[in-house]
Amino acid sequence: MADTLNETGSTNGIGTANTTTPTPNTAIPTGSSSGEAPKKSVTEAVKESAEKVKAAALKATENVDWKTHSDQLKDQATRTARSAADVAKEKTGTAMQSLSKLISDTASTVDAKLGPQYGDYARYAAEAVSGAAKSLDAKDVDQLMGDARDFVRKSPAVAIGAAAVVGYVLMRLAKGSDSSEDA
């Protein structure tokens, strides 16, 4: 059986390690080349190692071009947001066209049940939704964002009210989907 080293670096001669656990004030060898090894406490050795790691980390971060990294992240986020906005615009346009067709298809039923005046209202609503969908499809995301900014500048109260209504509807939709999953 081979001798093993104990905490001070010497062997215990019986083939097993010394089971004494070092304490913060236990002396450990520092590896000095002189005949007599100066002793340091575990706490001092850990502090010294931590300082070395800290210095290495600072040196490594000094050579990083943070502006380039932040510009790359900004560009990536912009591309991702633009892509998501394009997909959302396309889906919204398609949904609005479908809604317009649905309203237009039900206009004859409204004529029969409620009268031609209400059927005309339904056809007018279908045309308005269809026109909005065409307008949405004709513009790119940047134009839509510009239009939204202009609207908010011209009518901030209406914009805040619309945002509150949309937030409320989204909250109700989210709550509704949570309660249906629990059932």
Averaged pLDDT score across all residues of the chain: 79
Compare 22 and 95 and report the one with higher pLDDT: 95
pLDDT (0 to 100) of residue 1 = 44
pLDDT (0 to 100) of residue 149 = 92
Contacts of 130 (CB under 8 A, 6+ apart): 96, 97, 100, 104
CA distance 78 to 157: 29
Report for 34-48, 85-99, 165-179: range of highest mean pLDDT: 85-99
Q: Model's pTM, two decimal places?
A: 0.49
